[in-house]
Amino acid sequence: MDCEEIKVPEEFSDISPYNDEDFPKEIARLVNEEGFENAVKYVIPDVNYAEFSSQLLQIKNKHDFQMQIMLPFLRKLEKSTTKGVTASGMENIADNMPNVFLSNHRDIVLDASFLNLCLTLNGKPTTEIAIGNNLLIYPWIDMLVRLNKSFIVKRDTSKRHALEAAQHLSAYIHFAIKQKHQSVWIAQRQGRAKDSDDRTQESLVKMLALAGNTDIANGIKQLNLMPVSISYEYDPNDYLKAKEFLLRKKDPDFKKSQHDDLLSMETGLLQNKGHAHFHFSRCINDQLDNLPCNCDKNETAHLICNIIDKAIHSNYYIYHNNYIAYDILNNSSRFNDEYSADEKNDFCEYLNSQISKIDIPVNDNEAEYLRHMMLVMYANPLTNQLIAKGLEQEK
């Protein structure tokens, strides 16, 4: 499926996936990591780790690792934690043209993983995956993700070195697209949109364009950027996101711990997500050609973000949960034809059961705030789609 690999220059060795020539050495290091062994046994309780290690040591490159290890694992995860992972818009992906797939961000691990599952099952090459170094909590995680075609986004740089890190990252992404002919996935913003109000960060667009050595619009055009809309029927992390909203409301300086990130990764990976859908919109190059040419850098970045956001918002898969949450929040019956009374009762019970998982004391007002924020999470995809399609005014 993938053509012969072009070796990554040494200048990118601090952030790039491992070259295939280094794969056997790095996989041997990984299987001897106690933390990796413990993680494998936790996620696959019935695993024979000695046999599993032996299987890993037979693999010689990233493509075979994905096809022999990651693909079966993701199919098993799809079967055990979803009602199915589906995709639309595959006809928009041109053969022999690598893309930057830029999507909204719901789940730390599975957004990119399930996206690559959709690509693989439709006969398309997998992408390289952008991952923040804040999630590389243990050395074995760094090893694992780079064996799995991930590259590192440095988020712990000082303000003084931030531009240098952005230029370095942009240069690698341009190298991946232009020289390796390798598609790339990156989220539209740093971190997940906790309230599901998905907006592309202008700083991200500026970063992507940096290495284009031209204006922002043409720098982005070189990357064949394709917006992707990700829709989960249920977000297993919804109650953890609501808890974070409450903690920030009580203490604006609240910061998540590494334990919080690990819990979010574990919960998103292993708990029920219902149905999951990925829509691949058309490459935005034609729209970039139509941008006004008299805009400054900031205005151009803003217009590009609007193009991306409109594509993502317009193509969410809307579930009955989204309709129910919208009607409850707006005290309306606008979409009551989209769900039954039983479905509404089930969703309200689901919200209550998720709130009951929150492990901090809450009073009645705080419980109502948590419920409100969870309703906002489920309503926002529909609200934004209505606005994108001109069926509702932005508030």
Residue 356 and residue 308 share a domain: no
Per-residue pLDDT, 157: 84
pLDDT tens sequence across 277-335: 999 999 999 999 999 988 999 999 999 999 999 999 999 999 999 999 999 999 999 99
> Does 280 share its domain with 298?
yes
Domain boundary among 317, 333, 354: 317
**Do both 330 and 206 map to the same domain?**
no
Of 233, 225, 229, 257, whose CA–CA distance to 89 is shortest?
229
Could you give the CA distance from residue 64 to residue 50 in angstroms, rounded to a whole number? 20
Domain count, the chain: 2
Query: Torsion angle, CA of 382/372/246/242, rounded to 10 degrees?
Result: -50
* 147 and 120 fall within a common domain: yes
Residues 383 and 292 in one domain: no
pLDDT < 70 regions, the chain: 1-4
Tokens of 332: 């309306």
Instruction: In whole angstroms, give the CA distance from residue 266 to residue 236.
Output: 10
Domain annotation covers residue 35:
no
What Å distances lie between residue 45 and 37, 56, 336, CA to CA? 11, 17, 43
Position 199 in a domain: yes
Q: Tell me the sheet residues that pair with 87.
A: 278
HSE-up (13 A, CA, CB side) for residue 133: 12
pTM score, whole prediction? 0.95
Structural domain span for residue 241: 237-257+319-395
Q: Which residue has the tokens 């667009």?
A: 205
Same domain for 212 and 351: no
Residue 43 lies in a domain: no
In a domain? residue 27: no
Amino acid found at 392: E
Same domain? For 229 and 249 the reply is no
Give the DSSP letter of residue 225: E
CA end-to-end span of the chain: 47
Residue 179: other Cβ atoms inside 10 A = 12
Q: Rg (Cα) of the chain, in Å, rounded?
A: 21
Residues in the chain: 395
